[in-house]
Structure 1
């Protein structure tokens, strides 16, 4: 009877969502609120350089989480590259963060498509300072000159949405 009661109680709940006794609970990270302060980590970049948080102080910073396997990222990333190319001379700083499990997949993806915006890969150390909100990809944040969030969007942006990021620079 206990087994039947348990199965009935679970109903349509997928077994993957049933917490295991030994698994640490995953707490979803909310999207930062507009106006909230946003700390930035130092990030080693694929090109051998470093994104330095101290050098981004007083600058508009675009943070873009993506993955090589994400179809929505494949649509949005060319727009982000175009924005980077157009707004970098005006002072836009950008930090792409790949969530790929293998760095070589992310590097190959960027090289094949000719993307040059500054990019590194997420690590537990980076996630401690700047955790990726929710599970949605792509994820786009803009930090204003005052160090506070001026835009936070999860999911794919339309071309006009990406173009509007330029108003913050």
Structure 2
């Protein structure tokens, strides 16, 4: 894709996002932080998964980790999440790690949404304790890739298209 098409697509995406977000968006942004800087270390913490398991930082040692903040009510997340599932299914056996962080009002809402759609990527509810360990960057959806060396190699806010999500496999 040429540079102009990429820039125009991002501009259109940002314009649509600004015009279409639901009212609850404002509440979700209260504690947002800036996107992490490329090259910055990204520390991890132990957090409980919605399926009853736990995410352990050691699971990501020497592996790429995709962090994906989303919400069941977000129309852009609804389009990106199926692509994240495809990425997870195709790359988990190659070493990709993923942690999807729901900002829904409750863990039950997030878990029900994942079940109804058949999503199997590891997910947590970004409640108080998890939000302290993994503060949500400004925007939604947000995708941050922590490289094999523990440093941020990519950070995006706003919806990624199918080809953008597929391209995350380059970090594996």
Range class of TM-score, shorter chain? 0.7 to 0.9
* Distance in structure 2 (CA, Å) of the matches to 1:28 and 1:103: 19
- Name whichever structure is richer in helix by fraction: 2
Residue 7 of structure 2: aligned partner: none
Separation in 2 of the partners of 1:76 and 1:43?
23
Structure 1: 5+ residue stretches without partners: 1-25
Q: Kindly report the root-mean-square deviation, in angstroms, between the aligned alpha carbons of the 2 structures.
A: 1.2
Match of 2:141 among 138, 142, 148: 138
Normalised by the length of structure 2, the TM-score is: 0.80
Picking from 155, 160, 163, the partner of 2:158 is 155
The structure 1 residue matched to 2:42, chosen from 38, 43, 58, is 38
TM-score normalized by structure 1?
Answer: 0.81
Q: Does 1:63 align with 2:67?
A: yes
Q: 2:171 maps to which residue? A: 168
1:89-135 CA distances to partner (integer Å, 9 max, x unpaired)? 1000110110001111111111111000000101222222221111x
Aligned residues: 143
CA distance in 2, matches of 1:80, 1:64: 9
Q: Bigger radius of gyration, 1 or 2?
A: 1
Q: How does 1:15-164 map to 2 (within 5 A)?
A: 28-134=32-138, 136-164=139-167
Equivalent residue, structure 2, for 1:19: none
